[in-house]
C-alpha cells in the first residue's frame, strides 16, 4: 500500500524556546504546545507541519519526516529499508512505525489508531 505523503517533520532540539523562535522567524505559527516542551507549528501558506520536541539527553538531535498512512494493517515497509519498530499506539491518537531508509535515516510512518489499540503512558 502507498501512503498519503509527508504530513510533517519532527525536529528534535536541546532548546525548545530557541527552536520555536527560529521557526516563527521563518513565518511558522505555533498551533499547539504540549506540557512537555514540544509542539506543532504550521506555515500560513500551507505545506507540512513542523513538530518541535525537546530532548535533554546528550545525543545529537534528529530531524525526520512523518509519512501518513491511511491504514497501518495494510502498510508494507519497503524492502530497501529497515523496520526499526513496528506500529505501536501513541498518546497523540496515531499508531507509529519507525523505518530506516537505505542510508540509515529515520522515517516515521503514522496511521490512525485502530479500535482497541491502547497508547502507552510514557511515550514521547
pLDDT digits (tens, 9 = 90+) for 33-57: 988 899 999 999 999 999 999 998 8
Residue 75's CB: how many other CB atoms inside 10 A? 17
Largest CA distance in the chain: 41
| pTM of the model as a whole | 0.86
State how far the Cα of 114 lies from the Cα of 89, in Å rounded to an integer: 9
Residue written as grid cell 496515531:
94
CATH entry, 6-112, from 3.10.180.10, 3.30.300.30, 3.20.20.150, 1.10.10.10: 3.10.180.10
Model confidence at 120, pLDDT cuts 50, 70, 90, reads: low
Q: Which residues contact 98 (CB under 8 A, 6 or more apart)?
A: 83, 84, 85, 106, 107, 108, 109
Amino acid at each position: 500500500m502507498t501512503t498519503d505523503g509527508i504530513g510533517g517533520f519532527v525536529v528534535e532540539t536541546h532548546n525548545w524556546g530557541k527552536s520555536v523562535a527560529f521557526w516563527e522567524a521563518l513565518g511558522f505559527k505555533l498551533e499547539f504546545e504540549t506540557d512537555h516542551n514540544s509542539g506543532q507549528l504550521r506555515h500560513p501558506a500551507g505545506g507540512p507541519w513542523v513538530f518541535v520536541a525537546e530532548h535533554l539527553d546528550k545525543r545529537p538531535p534528529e530531524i525526520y519526516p512523518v509519512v501518513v498512512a491511511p491504514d497501518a494493517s495494510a502498510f508494507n515497509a519497503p524492502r530497501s529499508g529497515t523496520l526499526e519498530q513496528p506500529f505501536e499506539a501513541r498518546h497523540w491518537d496515531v499508531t507509529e512505525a519507525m523505518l530506516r531508509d537505505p542510508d540509515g535515516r529515520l522515517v516515521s510512518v503514522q496511521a490512525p489508531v485502530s479500535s482497541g489499540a491502547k497508547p502507552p503512558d510514557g511515550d514521547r
